[in-house]
Amino acid sequence: TPAQASVALHTGRTIGEISPLIFGGFAEHMGRCIYEGIYDPESPLSDERGLRTDVMAALRETNYRIMRYPGGNFVSGYRWTDGIGPKADRPRRRALAWRSIETNQFGPHEFMDFARELGTEPMWAVNLGTGSIQEAADLVEYMNLPTGTLYSDLRAANGQQEPYGVKYWCLGNEMDGPWQIGQMDAATYAEKAVQASKLMRWMDPSIKTIACGSSATSMPGYPDWDLTVLNHAYDQIDYFSMHHYAANPYPTVSNTERLPLDTDSYLASSIHFAEHADTLAAAIRVAKAKNRSKRDVHLCWDEWNVWYRAKGGDGDWSEAPHILEEEYNLEDALVVATWLNTFLNKADVVKIACIAQIVNVIAPLMTRRDAMFRQTIFYPLTLFSNHAAGHALAALVRAPIHDTKRYGGVSQLDVSASFDEATGRGATFLVNRSQTEPLQVTVTWENGAPQAVTHAWQMSGPDPLAGNSFEAPDAVTAQAIAAPVLDGAHATLLLPPLSFTTLLSQHP
């Protein structure tokens, strides 16, 4: 008989309102994300604007609510004025961050067309590496002001009369990183971010700005960088950014040291993600108190994903170098599911999150000129994004504890849940982290039985390393399974080892 576990839910025991913006993506001018990913005029699958129709359809399935652009490291050397005006006149430049040639055939207008077509909120990063605070404010003027000034008139001349109204603005990217173009220390960055944010808001007071946190918990400056920036910039920002990548073996900041595979720890790595969010949430509270502020700042987890760095990150100065094309497997999908559980379980503090990235590089979709496939991580992302809504519920979980090298004793079952009062829909997300042991779980809705568990999907399989490919695009997917029949307010089901299960329930 399998081990037993229980999950108790109460629709009134909430953690916080789920911000739909936690289901976000990130599209950087990097490798083949933009060129040959989103935009590929030479593909038979592209429309008249050069947008890949198969990619657009898959991105719509994922239902991204916000899209960060244009970087990432790329943005720290990007001149946005290169990307406007007639395409034939746009300059070709070396993009230093990823050693590629930037043709600028995809720029601000093309991105806004793409975002509008997808129905996703744009989140724009300004260049605080080589860029000045004036250039950042000029970009806000170009994108958001009604005509009648230099840059807003230029926008109209380039075909867009109405302001775009971009609301979310990242103040640079990972400015603590030695790899960053224009790296600076925390105090210098904090002051530049404050001045940029001030100018940008004077240009358009309705915008929200996001300051950079440390680029990883493994950075030597973490968490001092975060405290310095938050304390200095608190009253000039709305969100504070955090980045986090995981891998098996655990990634190191230098990426030179390779540790042995440790799958049990990897499957428990959400413990570390949650700790990171807790530390920064506490830093935000300290900064709020220090600044005697009445405003709230929230976490913007604007880069997260599994990233092995197995495929080199250095381009060859070509237009769309094949760099960082990660291949994902079942265990990666399970880690992504636990990450999304973490977002729900931190719904009170995490209000924006963007998976890095959306196509080809570190991404749920992989293309070649004539085909595309969905990687394993596509499935948890899409299930959460389409079904988690309303409030996140604080689940009371009883499950066996298993031992891991990195985190000690860890619950075999990782859970999150949501309830949407407007529709009466509940969603429960369950990950069985064990590589070998099934788990019989009983979910109980403490304050009344749902009318039914209406849908259930499951991802599982014996091989944690199994993945999809052009040849076998559907080897590892989420399968619809029979929804468990209710016994009063209880639903009991078997979770295979290495599995991710989603249950939808309808409540009176």
Q: Cite the active site residues.
A: 174, 303
Q: How many residues does the chain have?
A: 508
CA distance 24 to 356: 9
CA distance 190 to 171: 10
Per-residue burial over 154-179, b if 16 or more Cβ lie within 10 Å, else e, is bbeeeebeebbebbbbbbbbbbbbee
Our CB check for ligand AHR shows the closer of 72 and 107 to be: 72
Which residue's beta carbon is nearest to the bound ligand AHR?
A: 72
Our CB check for ligand AHR shows the closer of 362 and 493 to be: 362
The bridge status of strand 100-102 relative to strand 391-393 is unpaired
Whether the CA torsion 228, 291, 244, 331 is positive or negative: it is positive
Place of tokens 């080897």: 475
N-term to C-term CA, the chain = 34
CA torsion, ordered 114, 370, 461, 439, to nearest 10 deg: 10
- Least Å distance between CB 109 and ligand AHR? 22
Our CB check for ligand AHR shows the closer of 241 and 382 to be: 241
Our CB check for ligand AHR shows the closer of 50 and 72 to be: 72
Note the helical H segments in 107-212.
Answer: 108-118, 133-144, 150-157, 186-203
- Least Å distance between CB 305 and ligand AHR? 8
Residue 7 DSSP one-character state = E
Residues of this chain that bind ligand AHR (CB under 6 A): 28, 71-73, 173-174, 215, 303, 356-357, 362
Place of tokens 């601000």: 108
Token output for 300: 């913007």
The SS3 call for residue 434 is coil
Our CB check for ligand AHR shows the closer of 357 and 432 to be: 357
- Least Å distance between CB 374 and ligand AHR? 19
- Least Å distance between CB 62 and ligand AHR? 17
